[in-house]
Amino acid sequence: MSTWAATTETCLSTIKRLYELREKYKDAPAVIVAICSALNDISLSLTKIQGRLQQLQHLSEGWRPHPALSQVIDTALTGVSLIFSSIDAEIQRITAAGRSNSSWIRPWRLRLRMIRSESRWNDLLGLIHSQQRFLILSIDLLQT
């Protein structure tokens, strides 16, 4: 269960970093706000899954999910972790442009990075939506 808590914590810290990026760099793509909203949904889904698993274990001592269900849930966690890694890499790529030694080059490099990365952000948003559908399926499986 600690994996769930760690993944949810990573989700929340990623949202915070994205909002900080958006505030710091006014040229940040608007899609970042949409990603934050979608990540909030992911966080809620992770919490629901964790709560349902705990409830099932409490109702029946020694309850173990069916191996296929365990695999689905593990795949969901892995997918979420990969998305967070991709978002982190993108944040690092963008913020690296802001570390230029020359103060007059920094804004232009940053703006160029932001513009070039907008398609990546859109791709990440699509992946997040797909992952959210997968998490909803996992929640539905746990309800039956």
Element (H, E) at 62: none
User: Residue 103 sits in which domain range?
Assistant: 2-143
| Torsion angle, alpha carbons of 62, 63, 67, 71, to 10 | -110
Residue type, 137: L
> Model confidence at 111, in pLDDT bands (50, 70, 90)?
low
Helix, strand, coil % over all residues of the chain, rounded to 5? 85, 0, 15
Structure token pair of residue 60: 């029946």
Q: Examine the pLDDT at 104 and tell me if it is beyond 60.
A: no
Q: Examine the pLDDT at 100 and tell me if it is beyond 60.
A: no
How many structural domains does the chain have?
1
Q: How far apart are CA 35 and CA 89, in angstroms?
A: 15
- Mean pLDDT, the chain, whole residue set: 80
The C-alpha angle 137, 37, 43, rounded to 5 degrees, equals: 50
Q: What is the pLDDT of residue 120?
A: 87
Q: Tens of pLDDT along 36-93? A: 899 999 989 988 988 888 887 777 666 666 777 778 888 888 899 899 889 988 888 8
**Contact in structure between 29 and 117 (CB atoms under 8 Å):** yes
CA proximity to 36, closest of 13, 7, 69? 13
pTM of the full structure: 0.78
Q: How far apart are CA 2 and CA 90, in angstroms?
A: 26
Burial class (CB in 10 A: 0-12, 13-18, 19+), 139: middle
Element (H, E) at 52: helix 31-59
